[in-house]
Amino acid sequence: MKAEIEALNLDIQKSLKLLRRRLDWDASERRFDELEAMSHDQNFWDDAARAQELMREKNKLESSMALIKEIERDLKDNIELVELAEIENDDDLINEVQSNLEKAKERAAIAETNALLSGEADANDCYIEINAGAGGTESQDWAAMLRRMYMRWANANGYGCEEIDENQGEEAGIKSCTLLIKGENAYGWLKTEAGVHRLVRISPFDSNARRHTSFASVWTYPVIDDNIEVDVQEKDVRIDTYRASGAGGQHINKTDSAVRITHIPTGIAVASQQERSQHKNRDIAWKMLRARLYELELKKREAQSQALEDSKTDIGWGHQIRSYVLQPYQLVKDLRTEVETSNTSGVLDGDLNAFMAAALAQRVEIIGDE
């Protein structure tokens, strides 16, 4: 067997062993059988809320176990294929098997990361706020590049993506925007992206072609379910309406349909302008505010080393989590985990899973040590 294929085989087997251990396979099988029996009870749906909760647990277990079984089956089938290909000296089939195993290894790695997502809101949809730092057009263009990067990541990983709010730059790019990423474990994957992102490049806006450094901040928080109660007093908020900006059809800039809600005690502000109806934008903004306040409470409960105000410090030197260097060399480096790559175009096109997985593993270790 080729050394490359043997190495892939061992890596996948290692991942599968780890996945089974994290899932606690025997206990999960027993729990699934128990939930399956409960779901067939004629009184199961008498308590609809509890029934839905149990069905979510059952579906999650079923999905996790099915994925492991599928990877195990693919591995077995491909190892049998390569043994046959070696007997027949079929190099094309050997190369095909190697490609299949590389894909299986990537799936197993993603599954490993998903297995780490056991936080209270990890399974939820996720809001992403992007804000340009000081520096005018340079930073605003960088903020737009980050928006594109996360939209590409969402698309590549099977997530839905909607733009909730946008504040356009004066000449190019954006001053800020809010994205809604929809799908299983969206917040779990994206939560470690929060922080300041630094770009170094030859500026396309500088006639002298000088190198510039730009900063933009990313903030992530989970969409919360209706059954999670977050108490927000009317007296603690200020609601402003204004005319929406940017693309959106004839209604744009004709009515005060956009809504901004500011939570006075914390200074948290959210906005929505995606809908034509002010009523609908108000409803979206209220949901975003509740989500932000819930995320703040999660941070307190997780005993994070920095409070909310620390994450809102100056967007500049000393606060960045990741550097993207396009000139004089090509390098993207995460300053927390030391993960790096020279494939800058791939990262800016949404290839972020390696960075997210490493940061998540580090976060789990830190919380586990506290």
Report how far apart, in Å, the C-alpha atoms of 224 and of each of 23, 121, 279, 311, 366 are.
Answer: 25, 8, 20, 21, 25
- The phi and psi torsions of 208 (rounded to 5 degrees) equal -95, 5
Determine which helix (DSSP H) or strand (DSSP E) holds 69, and give its type and residue range.
helix 48-87
Neighbours of 163 (CB within 10 A): 16
Does the pLDDT of residue 311 top 80, yes or no?
no
- Rounded to an integer, what distance in angstroms lies between the CA atom of residue 356 and that of residue 70? 24
The whole-angstrom separation of Cα 160 and Cα 125 is 9
User: Rounded CA gap, 196 and 319, in Å?
Assistant: 6
Q: Residue 252 has what pLDDT?
A: 47
Residue 137 has pLDDT above 70, yes or no: yes
Residue 192, both tokens: 């470690």
Domains of the chain by residue range: 3-115, 123-370
Per-residue pLDDT band for 366 (boundaries 50, 70, 90) equals low
DSSP label at 350? Answer: T
CATH number (3.30.70.1660, 3.40.50.300, 3.30.300.30, 3.40.50.2300) of 123-370 reads: 3.30.70.1660
Average pLDDT value over all residues in the chain: 85
Q: How far apart are CA 282 and CA 241, in angstroms?
A: 9
Sign for the pseudo-dihedral over CA of 123, 35, 364, 336: negative
Q: Which percentage of the chain shows pLDDT scores above 90?
A: 47
The whole-angstrom separation of Cα 285 and Cα 241 is: 11
Give pLDDT, residue 318: 59
Quick: pLDDT tens for 267-301. Answer: 889 999 888 888 889 888 888 888 888 888 777 66
Q: Give, in words, the CATH class of 3-115.
A: mainly alpha
Residue 43 burial by Cβ neighbours in a 10 Å radius (0-12, 13-18, 19+): exposed
Predicted confidence (pLDDT) at residue 81 exceeds the cutoff of 50:
yes
Q: Which has more confidence, 311 or 359?
A: 359
Q: Tell me the pLDDT tens digit for each residue of 18-35.
A: 889 888 899 999 999 999
Q: Report which of 199, 175, 173 is spatially closest to residue 322, judged by C-alpha positions.
A: 199
pLDDT at residue 200 in the model: 94
CA pair distance 188, 193, nearest whole angstrom: 10
211 vs 31, more confident: 31
Q: What is the pLDDT of residue 305?
A: 39
Distance, in Å, from the CA atom of 319 to the CA atom of 198, rounded to the nearest integer, reads 9
In this prediction, residue 293 carries a pLDDT of 86
H or E segment and range at residue 323: strand 320-325
Comparing 68-82, 89-103, 134-148, 221-235, the range with the smallest average pLDDT is: 221-235
Task: Tell me the pTM.
Answer: 0.69
pLDDT, position 251: 43
Lowest mean pLDDT segment, chosen from 56-60, 86-90, 180-184, 365-369: 365-369
Let me know: does 241 contact 256? Beta carbons within 8 Å: yes
